[in-house]
Structure formats: C-alpha cells, structure tokens
Amino acid sequence: MNCEIDLAVVERDVPEFVSNLTKSAGTRIGLELQEFGLIINATNDKAVKAGMVFNMSLVSHNLQAETAAEKSRNFSFLLVDTIIVTNEGHEVVTQLSTKALRM
C-alpha cells in the first residue's frame, strides 16, 4: 500500500507537480476518521484487504499560475475521494452517490 504507482502517473503526466506533492496520499478510515497507522505513503507496507475503506487525497501546494492578477498566482489543490476495497478490486464512493438532494 504505497504511493509509487500514483507518483509514477504524476511523474509521467504532470512532472512539474512532483516537487509540490505532499508525502502521503490519504489514510484508512476506521474507528477514527484517520487511522495514522495506515497512512498511505512510500514507507507503508501494510496489506490492503476487502472491506477496508480509505480516504484518498492528492495534495499539491505552492503552485504558480500564469496570470496577471498577483493574488491568483500562488495556489494549491486538494483532490479527495473515498475508496472501498472489495474482493473484486475497489469501489469509488462518489461513483455510487448522487448530488441530488432527497428529503
């Protein structure tokens, strides 16, 4: 359970973001919102099993935009999703949900 595959995608597709990425890509969700023993990073070698749920996050900070507006030049982004590990692979929670408000 490490970030090497994700990092390879970033290195290939947007190499200019590599130096701005955080060192982890999320955590397992359990009894606590974030189980710090299961942080997803390059040094974690814990096995992933069906039924586990992860808060996956890709964070890049201190990026520079080419814009005339000085206040808009520096920015960061955070992409987050919840992943459920299944026997067949995984489910992305946002694909299972809807934005429609039901009351």
Domains of the chain as residue ranges with CATH: 4-96 (3.90.230.10)
Q: What is the pTM of this model?
A: 0.60
Please write the tens of the pLDDT for every residue from 52-90.
Answer: 888 888 787 778 777 777 777 788 888 888 888 899 988
Please write the tens of the pLDDT for every residue from 89-103.
Answer: 888 887 777 766 666
Please write the tens of the pLDDT for every residue from 10-40.
Answer: 788 878 777 777 777 777 776 655 566 677 7
Res 103: pLDDT: 64
In Å, what is the CA distance from 54 to each residue of 46, 75, 87, 93, 96?
13, 26, 15, 10, 15
